[in-house]
Amino acid sequence: MQLFVGLGNPGGKYAGNRHNIGFMALDRIASDHGFGPWRARFQGEVAEGRLGSQKVLLLKPTTFMNNSGQSVGEAMRFWKLGPQDITVFHDELDLAPGKCRVKQGGGHAGHNGLRSIHAHVSPEYQRIRLGIGHPGHKDRVAPFVLSDFAKADQDWLDDLLRGLSDGAPELASGEAAKFLNAVALRVNPPRSGGGTDNRTQKKPAKAPKPDATPPKATTPAPAAAKPIDTAQSAEAAETTDARSPLERLRDRFR
């Protein structure tokens, strides 16, 4: 049997807090996989069910975060389990929001819930580290983790919780890589094949810029001179001459 533990604080006041993402993960798994009702047991709330071929006990300690190890230790001893049978879902400041990592054993990194489990069980249990981001300064950590997720967080949070639930059967079977792959398919879905990749799309050709140099003015060619009709000119001259024929003959031989 496997013991899945979600860390958080009990009561409606804390239900939407970042610190309670472990509770949220177990609630989603229980709902999606048809677990039995939550019952008060082992200083916490317990639901029993199956993930794949594995019998799994879900535990949400109600001791408040700093004493989570009391509940986990009691359940472990009752079911005669070892640290290798325990998986703890908890919030992780050192991971970006929506990121998920699996870690076997190691330190508690200042997380008070993990610190308590170390003291009552041992460090050799598996952790599912669920990224919530960091507020930027250690003095803001406590109010940050005890504040509700923002509206802007809801999309990635829902994707992460769905991914955890999708991969839960693989996690219960010891297939950590397959579990993480199931989470990644929800958090980072593959690109649709029908989409357009903007990186390879050709840009439309730009219209040529107008020439800034104004066109040169052209001087029109002079009109060709018309040929002079000498006969017509002579006739016109005779028409305007008022002299008599005798006078013209006389003037011609002068």
Q: What is the percent of the chain where pLDDT is above 90?
A: 74
Segment holding 61, helix H or strand E: strand 54-61
In this prediction, residues 67-72 reach a mean pLDDT of 98
Q: Which residue has the higher pLDDT, 227 or 45?
A: 45
DSSP letter (8 states) at residue 188: S
Asked if 44 and 3 touch (Cβ cutoff 8 Å), the reply is: no
Does 20 show up as a binding residue in the annotation?
no
Asked if 90 and 113 touch (Cβ cutoff 8 Å), the reply is: yes
Does 64 show up as a binding residue in the annotation?
yes
Q: Write the pLDDT tens digit of every residue in 142-196.
A: 999 999 999 999 999 999 999 999 999 999 999 999 999 999 999 988 765 444 3
- Which pTM was predicted? 0.75
Six token digits for residue 223: 């009109």
pLDDT at 243: 64
DSSP letter (8 states) at residue 38: -
CA distance 230 to 215: 44
Q: Which fold, 2-187?
A: Rossmann fold (3.40.50)
Mean pLDDT score of the chain? 86
CA distance 113 to 119: 10
Classify the phi-psi angles of 216: left when phi > 0, otherwise alpha if psi is within -120 to 50, otherwise beta: beta
pLDDT at 189: 81
Residue 90 known to be catalytic: no
Residues pairing with 126 in the sheet = 87, 104
CA distance 219 to 227: 24
pLDDT at 201: 42
Does 125 show up as a binding residue in the annotation?
no
Six token digits for residue 137: 């300064």
Q: Among 118, 86, 87, which Cα is nearest to 100's?
A: 87
CA distance 225 to 234: 19
Q: What is the percent of the chain where pLDDT is above 70?
A: 75
Checking if the pLDDT of 226 tops 70, the result is no
Q: Write the pLDDT tens digit of every residue in 100-124.
A: 999 999 999 999 999 999 999 999 9
Does 9 show up as a binding residue in the annotation?
no
Q: Among 33, 24, 35, 34, which Cα is nearest to 57's?
A: 35
Owner of token pair 């990592």: 101
The letter for the amino acid at 163 is G
Classify the phi-psi angles of 214: left when phi > 0, otherwise alpha if psi is within -120 to 50, otherwise beta: beta
